[in-house]
């Protein structure tokens, strides 16, 4: 049986340690392990969400 990641938790947050407060995302499996994360920061949250969508995030309307 292949896991689809439907129960994974997606987080969008700003990194306040950086000078420009870039937006980042991370994907956490139900067992608590981080299974995905953005490789760069984004100036706008929507750009960050678009990158997460390309990596499997399903936007909730």
CATH value at residue 40: 3.30.160.160
Which pLDDT band, with edges at 50, 70 and 90, does 60 fall under? confident
Question: Residues 6 or more apart from 17 whose CB is under 8 A from it?
Answer: none
Establish if 13 belongs to a structural domain. yes
Domain count, the chain: 1
Question: Residues 6 or more apart from 29 whose CB is under 8 A from it?
Answer: 5, 7, 8, 35
Establish if 50 belongs to a structural domain. yes
Establish if 1 belongs to a structural domain. no
Establish if 2 belongs to a structural domain. no
pLDDT at 59: 84
Establish if 4 belongs to a structural domain. no
Task: Say what the pTM is.
Answer: 0.83
Domain containing residue 47: 9-54
Residues 1-52 have pLDDT tens digits of 456 678 999 999 998 876 778 999 999 999 999 999 999 999 999 999 999 9
């Amino acid at each position: 049986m292949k896991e689809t990641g439907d129960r994974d938790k997606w987080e969008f947050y700003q990194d306040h340690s950086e000078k420009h407060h870039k937006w980042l995302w991370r994907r956490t499996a139900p067992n608590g392990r981080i299974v995905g994360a953005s490789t760069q920061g984004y100036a706008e949250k929507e750009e960050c969400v678009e990158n997460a969508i390309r990596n499997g995030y399903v936007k909730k309307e």
